[in-house]
A and B are shown apart, each in its own frame.
Chain A
Amino acid sequence: MTSHSRQDRPLFEPAIARRAVLDAFRKLSPLHQLRNPVMFTVWICSAFATGLWIQALTGRGEGRPGFILAISLWLWFTLLFANFAEAMAEGRGKAQADSLRRSKRDVKARRLLGSDRTGPHEVVDAPALRVNDLVLVEAGETIPGDGEAIEGVASVNESAITGESAPVIRESGGDRSAVTGGTLVLSDWLVICISSNPGESFLDRMIAMVEGAKRQKTPNEIALDILLAGLTLIFLLATATLLPYSVFSTKAAGQGHPVTLTALVSLLVCLIPTTIGGLLSAIGIAGMDRMIQANVIATSGRAVEAAGDVDVLLLDKTGTITLGNRQAVAFLPADGVGLKRLADAAQLSSLADETPEGRSIVVLAKEQHGLRERDLHALDAHFVPFTAQTRMSGVNLGTRQIRKGAASAIEAYVQSHGGTFPDDLRRTVDQISMAGGTPLVVAEGPHALGVIQLKDIVKGGIKDRFAELRDMGIKTVMITGDNPLTAAAIAAEAGVDDFLAQATPEAKLKLIREYQAGGRLVAMTGDGTNDAPALAQADVAVAMNSGTQAAKEAGNMVDLDSNPTKLIEIVEIGKQMLMTRGSLATFSIANDVAKYFAILPAAFVATYPALGALNVMRLHSPESAILSAVIFNALIIVALIPLALRGVTYRPVGAAQLLQRNLLLYGAGGLVVPFIGIKAIDWLLVALHLTA
């Protein structure tokens, strides 16, 4: 459970950028542009402007060919820049996919003809394997496909998938039986039952995902697309009708000339939301890419987007909120028993106990009472292991019989030896239970010596993360098999908002359904097969890569690091994606105000000279004004590519504060920036003698 993540890729890797430039031209095909109504409009405008230029070359045009050429070139650039943004985002994914594909080399598989490992087998190519085929994989061989280990245990290097080089154990049965194709068996052997047909494996899905090959628009993206198409339509009408208005006005004023088509086409491209329209797909792809950087594979963009909406987070207690196991924290002797005696007995009873709890008792005895470990053989000790019947474990040292176990079990044990269970001990036991701990009673023969207090240890820093989630408006719910008392105490210590105690798979499923019926979006993590139903029901379900195949199939994301707190990062990435879209849309629309002030006076000053007063930027000439606006409109796309790829910064503060911040930055900024930018470009054009 390391917090390892792939190396962060720099935003502009030269190799990716080079490929993206080529792709940008390839994407100029109108068929590709048709997917995006905003950019398709730009495509038509560019083609139209080019036509106007050719017309001007023949001498029958509406203006200087040089000017019209400059406009049409910059319109094409607008398209190219948008294409480049998309290609950059895709390129980063493709690079990732290539490295994945390398691990998908041609692998030979040993397909068992029977179910016996030692029986006959045939060697086939991995792609020939089908669901339910059994294969044998031995040390040094690559696992040929996704599946489940049904026999054996082996250490496996999964770095091809997870980027984590430390080997993991895969064994039949239990929650660590899932294996992934393309990973390498380092030691021992496994018999694997193949669970996916060629082309459907985890690796295939992962490659398709990072390449964006199967990318479908997410719901919010579709809704935004509709809004942008609506705006485009409005602006199309506003500019198209300007031609008759202008003809009428010219006649009415008796001076000037109707607005040129070049000016209208420029105005249209400047007004329609090209900034967001051009970057929209790049934002979506980059969001998926950021997920991959965080070592999470999402099965769809939809799931990534839904992550931003999560308002309830279900977290397993064990391994997520607390360290995997309980630990002994105190020895509490019964009345009349020395602390030392209790600690001694506790240590002796646990020396052979290899459970984490048992070891923590030995450690506590050593730390608090300086009791060193002793050699069991020298003591002539016989370890009595825990059984479900006795519910005790312990040690026999000659005639001494030391036992530790649950209070009820020890009480029965003491009484059977003719002793009594002291009342004060009963109180201590109750107190520990109430406080969320687990009491283990230690007895020697008929004497109950005292209690060992075991406690769940809440992970360091987890409380702060939950506080962060609360600030984001997300409720955390702890899921545990503990009794309600214990659960409440840990919940309070960890700072979760709620808990589900004595959780069964059915109870989990019911809880998720209840939250969903209340209109909430639920996210959860899980790894075991018994988590699968709940994972399938949750809106955002993150399966641990270390988990079972069933869990991975049920979830809509897989965390390669198997880190349960990864959900927090996932939520942030989801939110970031939406925020980037919203902020750039706002920016794009706010930009239009300045563009009006640049183009309108330029287009109509000949008809109504008084409209020159609207030229607040004091742009040099009508031509330079229109050209500057068009250039600004194209360059701003390039300037915003890094933001689109990186995403708008998310801070875990309430929605109101976020809105205020982003409005100020992208709304107010969007109003002001183009005034400065257009003026600067105009000044440059004049300084470089590039305009009439």
Chain B
Amino acid sequence: MSHAWSQNLLYLALLLSLAYPLGTHMAKVLEDGRTLLHPILRPLERGIYRLMGIHEDDEMGWKAYAWSITLIKLLGLAAVFLLMKTQAALPLNPERQANVASGLSFNTDVSFITNTNWQAYGGEATLSYLTQMLGLTVQNFISAATGIAVLAALVRGITRRSAAGLGNAWVDLVRSTLYILLPLSFALALFLVSQGVIQNLSAYLHTAGGQVLAMGPAASQVAIKMLGTNGGGFFGANAAHPFENSSPLSNFVQMLSILLIPAALCVTFGHMVKDRRQGWALLAAMTVMFVGALAVCTQAEVKGNPALDGLGMTQVASLDQPGGNMEGKELRFGPGGSALWATATTAASNGSVNAMHDSFTPLGGLVPLWLMQLGEVVFGGVGSGLYGMLMFALVAVFVGGLMVGRTPEYLGKKVEAFEMKMASIAILLPCAAVLIGTAISVLVPAAVASVSNPGPHGFSQILYAWSSASNNNGSAFAGLNTNTPFYNNGLAVAMLLGRFGVIWPVLALAGSLVKKKHTPEGLGTLPTHTPLFVGVLIGVVLLVGALTFIPALALGPIAEHLTLRSIR
């Protein structure tokens, strides 16, 4: 077995075994339990509440919860925008970065508050250290905490009976940050520094040979960028940059941290609904889809471009070269480390890249594209992946429930018209944004001009950009110049729709579920922890994804792949 495949196996084994302890810990945090961190952090937590005037025990209905989340996002939007527009006059700007142009500011700003982290900006060429630290890094934490909070609210909607409150948004945000994101980020940052990822506030280095080496507080931002499924790079080259991702080991650990919290949240879910099998079932569904995608992507990249075989070039791995499709990839990661990263970063809504997805083989590029189009539910973003998956689970339960002749119910809560409406909206909106955005782009000459490749690949570039923004991923099929007014504004709208167009229906749904009575499970109840249900859930996710996007994919990567195959 080659290096790529054994790395994949090790990756999965470690991911799943780390998910359990972390998931249990997170359940305690969200359920008011005591954790090992409490002796140190609890006083701090109390201090924050006192300072902010938050009453821990105040319950919020779904609307209050949703408005709180929206409010903190709007505040973030204003703060980051202000920072970018005034950074030239602010401290911690050794390179004297100018104020950021409005269109780019807006786009970057939106992308960070929505956990998309679309890189229209180039980190080291645009932003001051202060903007990076106070603007982007802070939003990385808040947007990840938002995901966890919304998920917690949804789970409470499921577990609480005939109630109204979904918890307190502020408390959920503070606790997620304090007990989950901060400690993990701290540990990861230290580890990354040990691997050579930089962390300083110095001016850029100018070497004797005339090279400029960008500097900055990279490790602290990279840690939460990976753990929070944010993905916005400190440097423009993102994780392909040696100062951001220095070694194969740092690469591996960063990949692990992409899916760590999303996978562990499944375990958390099982704990919170008092039936661990439910969490395992969701984790199993995600894992199966992930393994399938990973296998296709790895195979495509390790095998390389079939058209090159005829030209007398070798793409076989040897001591001299990693083999496979090496275009646009870092030597220290190879096709295996790049394919795994690409799959993980798009399965989760991370969007960091350590290779150019644009240069992947058509099939290798199809995998990340499709994973995003599935709605970022194969692990998905921190919190958002699981609540997105739960929307699909409700659809699966609905169809499955009808098939066994009973009003569908999930974990004891009846799934009725209102739930179907909200779940449909949450699934539909990002899909609509992708399809409509792409359609407008191929019609508007200014947008078409951004495309760098002819033929189906050019179409894939546009489709990828909209899929990434609408599903809050943030990775790009490089090659499409998106720092234009059209894309800056259009993609920002897609990002907002992809975030709030899902959060609001999810919370509305939680608000409806929380009011319902609990129906005890019986023989006639559709079991939602069995392999059969896992199969149905996978079927629903894949079918919705396939049926919505296959026509578009046929004109992009599929046409490209089949053409490439026919050339040989």
Could you tell me which A residues sit within 8 Å of B by CB distance? Answer: 219-220, 222-224, 226-227, 229-230, 233-235, 237-242, 244-249, 252-253, 267, 271, 305, 308-309, 311, 470-475, 517-520, 574-579, 581-583, 585-586, 589-590, 592-593, 596, 600, 604, 607-611, 613-614, 650, 654-656, 658-660, 662-663, 666-667
With beta carbons under 8 angstroms apart, the residue of A227, A234, A660 that contacts B431 is: A234
Q: Would you list which residues of chain B between 506 and 541 have a CB under 8 Å from chain A?
A: 517-520, 522-527, 530, 532-533, 536, 539
A-contact 0/1 string along B395-433, CB 8 Å cutoff: 100111111111110001001110111001101100110
Q: Does B547 contact A (CB under 8 A)?
A: yes
Contact of B555 among A589, A596, A608 (CB under 8 A): A608
Q: Does B60 contact A (CB under 8 A)?
A: no
B551 and A586 form a contact (CB under 8 A): no
> With A220-B407, A473-B522, A578-B407 known to touch, is A600 a contact of B402 (CB < 8 Å)?
no
Query: 5 closest pairs, A vs B, by CB?
Result: A582-B402, A473-B524, A575-B405, A473-B523, A230-B424
Please give me the residue from chain A that is nearest to B540 by CB atom. A589
Pick from B402, B427, B440, B559: contact of A224, CB below 8 A: B402
Q: Is B547 a contact of A235 with CB atoms below 8 Å?
A: yes
List of A residues within 8 angstroms of B517 by Cβ: 517, 519
Contact: B406 with A245, CB < 8 Å? Answer: no
Please, which residues of chain B bring their CB within 8 A of the CB of A518?
A: 520
Of the candidate stretches B24-32, B205-213, B489-497, B560-568, the one touching chain A is: B560-568
Nearest-Cβ distance from residue B392 to partner chain A, whole angstroms = 12
Is A660 within 8 A of B532, CB to CB? yes
CB pair A227–B398 under 8 Å, yes or no, is yes
Q: Is B458 an interface residue (CB 8 A)?
A: yes
Residues A654 and B547 in contact, CB atoms below 8 Å apart: no
Q: B558 touching A611 by the CB < 8 A rule?
A: yes
User: B89 — which chain A residues lie within 8 A by C-beta?
Assistant: none
Contact of B519 among A224, A240, A520 (CB under 8 A): A520
Please tell me if the beta carbons of B399 and A585 are within 8 angstroms of each other in the complex: yes
Closest to B551 in A: A242
The smallest C-beta distance from A98 to any residue of chain B, in angstroms, reads 31
Q: Which of B438, B520, B551, B566 contacts A239 (CB 8 A)?
A: B551
From residue B346, how far is it (CB to closest CB) to chain A in Å? 21
* Contact status B404-A241, CB under 8 Å: no
A-B contact pairs, 11 of them (CB 8 A): A220-B416, A245-B555, A252-B455, A308-B407, A311-B524, A472-B524, A583-B403, A607-B559, A610-B566, A614-B558, A655-B406
B459 contacts the other chain (CB 8 A): yes
Residues of B within 8 A of A613 (CB): 562, 565-566
Q: Does B10 contact A (CB under 8 A)?
A: no
Task: Say yes or no: A579 contacts B402, CB within 8 Å.
Answer: yes
Q: Is the CB of A223 within 8 A of B454?
A: no
User: Which of A223, A248, A581 sits near B459, CB closer than 8 Å?
Assistant: A248
* B416 A604 Cβ-Cβ under 8 A: no
Could you tell me if A248 and B420 are in contact, using CB atoms closer than 8 angstroms? no
Name the B residues within 8 Å of A470 (CB-CB). Answer: 523
CB neighbours of A235 from chain B (8 A):
547-548
Min CB gap B324→A, angstroms: 23
Of B435, B524, B562, B566, most buried by chain A (CB within 10 Å of CB) is B524
Q: How many angstroms between the C-alpha atoms of A213 and B436 in the bound complex? A: 42
Q: Report yes or no: B442 in contact with A245, Cβ–Cβ below 8 A.
A: yes
**Which of B417, B427, B455, B543 contacts A253, CB < 8 Å?**
B455
Given A234-B547, A239-B551, A604-B554: A655 in contact with B416 (beta carbons within 8 A): no
Residue of A nearest to B161 (CB): A519
A267 to B554 Cα, complex, angstroms: 14
Please name all residues of chain A whose beta carbon is closer than 8 Å to the beta carbon of B403 when the two chains form the complex: 579, 582-583, 586, 658-659, 662-663, 666
Q: Which chain A residues lie closer than 8 Å to B454 at the CB level?
A: 252
Contacts of B563 in A (CB 8 A): 608, 610
Complex Cα distance, B432 from A636, in Å, reads 29
Say yes or no: A519 contacts B520, CB within 8 Å: yes
Question: In the complex, what residues of A have CB within 8 A of residue B443's CB?
Answer: 244, 247-248
Interface centre among A520, A655, A660 (most CB of B within 10 A): A655
Chain B contacts for A474, CB-based, 8 A: 522, 524
Nearest chain B residue, comparing its CB with the CB of A589: B543
Complex: chain A residue closest to B516, CB-CB: A519
The residues of B with any CB-CB pair to A shorter than 8 Å are: 395, 398-408, 412, 415-417, 419-421, 424-425, 427-428, 431-432, 435-436, 438-440, 442-443, 448, 454-456, 458-459, 517-520, 522-527, 530, 532-533, 536, 539, 543-544, 546-552, 554-555, 558-559, 562-563, 565-566
Contacts of B524 in A (CB 8 A): 311, 472-474, 654-655
Query: Which A residues touch B455, using CB under 8 A?
Result: 252-253
Which residue on chain B has the smallest CB distance to residue A475?
B522
Residues of A within 8 Å of B419, CB to CB, are: 223
Q: Could you tell me if B405 and A223 are in contact, using CB atoms closer than 8 angstroms?
A: no
Contact indicator A249/B551 (Cβ below 8 Å): no
Taking a contact as CB atoms under 8 Å apart, the answer to whether B558 and A245 are in contact is no
Nearest CB in chain A to that of B546: its residue: A593
Q: In the complex the two chains form, is A245's CB within 8 Å of B398's CB?
A: no
Since A245-B555, A519-B519, A666-B403 are in contact, a sample of 7 more A-B pairs with Cβ atoms closer than 8 Å, ordered by chain A residue number, is A219-B407, A230-B425, A578-B407, A579-B402, A582-B400, A611-B558, A655-B525
State how many angstroms separate the Cβ of A225 from the closest Cβ of chain B: 8
Q: How far is the CA of A585 from the CA of B518 in the complex (A)?
A: 27
**How far is A230 from B505 in the complex, measured between Cα atoms in Å?**
14
Give the residue of A520, A576, A614, A656 whose beta carbon is less than 8 angstroms from that of B405.
A576
A578 CA / B416 CA spacing, docked (Å): 13
Residues of B within 8 A of A234 (CB): 428, 431-432, 544, 547-548
Q: List chain B residues, Cβ under 8 A from A475.
A: 522
Q: Contact at B562–A608, with CB atoms within 8 Å?
A: yes
A672 to chain B, nearest CB (A): 14
Judge whether B523 and A472 touch: CB under 8 Å.
yes
Contacting pair B399 A582 (CB below 8 A): yes
Which single residue of chain A is at the shortest CB-CB distance from B451? A252
Residues on the A chain within 8 Å of B398, using CB: 223-224, 227
Contact partner, B436, options A237, A305, A610, Cβ 8 Å: A237
Rounded to whole angstroms, the CA-CA distance of A515 and B155 in the bound complex is: 25
Assess A226 versus B420: contact at CB under 8 Å? Given A252-B455, A578-B402, A608-B555: yes
Tell me if B551 and A600 are in contact (CB < 8 A): yes
Asked whether A473 lies within 8 Å of B525 as measured between CB atoms, the reply is: yes
In the complex, how many angstroms separate the beta carbon of A280 from the nearest chain B beta carbon?
12
Contacts of A239 in B (CB 8 A): 551
CB contact between A611 and one of B401, B438, B559 (< 8 Å): that residue: B559
Known A-B contacts A230-B427, A245-B439; A222 and B405 likewise in contact (beta carbons under 8 Å): no
- Decide if A655 touches B402 in the complex (CB within 8 Å): no
Expressed in whole angstroms, the minimum distance between the Cβ of A49 and any Cβ of chain B is 19
Q: Which B residues touch A609, using CB under 8 A?
A: 566
Q: Is the CB of A226 within 8 A of B546?
A: no
A653: shortest Cβ distance to chain B, in Å? 9
- With the chains together, A206 CA to B532 CA distance in Å? 42
The chain B residue sitting closest to A658, CB to CB, is B404
Whether A226 and B562, one on each chain, are in contact in the complex, defined by CB atoms closer than 8 angstroms, is no
- Taking a contact as CB atoms under 8 Å apart, the answer to whether A247 and B547 are in contact is no
Question: How many whole Å from A598's CB to the nearest CB in chain B?
Answer: 13
| Distance in angstroms between the alpha carbons of A311 and B407 in the assembled complex | 12
Give complex CA distance A223, B410 in Å: 15
Q: A249-B459, A473-B525, A592-B547 are in contact. Are A309 and B407 (CB under 8 A)?
A: yes
Which residue of the partner chain, among B412, B440, B549, B562, contacts A519 with CB atoms under 8 Å? B412
B526 touches A655 (CB 8 A): yes
User: Whole-angstrom distance between the alpha carbons of A235 and B550 in the complex?
Assistant: 11
Contact A248 B404 (CB under 8 A): no
Inter-chain CA distance A604–B431, complex, in Å, is 22
User: Complex Cα distance A630/B187, Å?
Assistant: 59
> With A220-B407, A650-B405 given, is the CB distance from A614 to B448 under 8 Å?
no
Give the distance in Å from the alpha carbon of A311 to the alpha carbon of B416 in the complex.
18
| A521–chain B nearest beta-carbon distance, Å | 8
Contacts of B456 in A (CB 8 A): 249, 252-253, 608
Name the A residues within 8 Å of B425 (CB-CB).
Answer: 230
Residues in chain B near residue A311, CB distance under 8 A:
519-520, 522, 524
Known: A238-B552, A249-B456, A656-B527. A579 touches B427 (CB 8 A): no
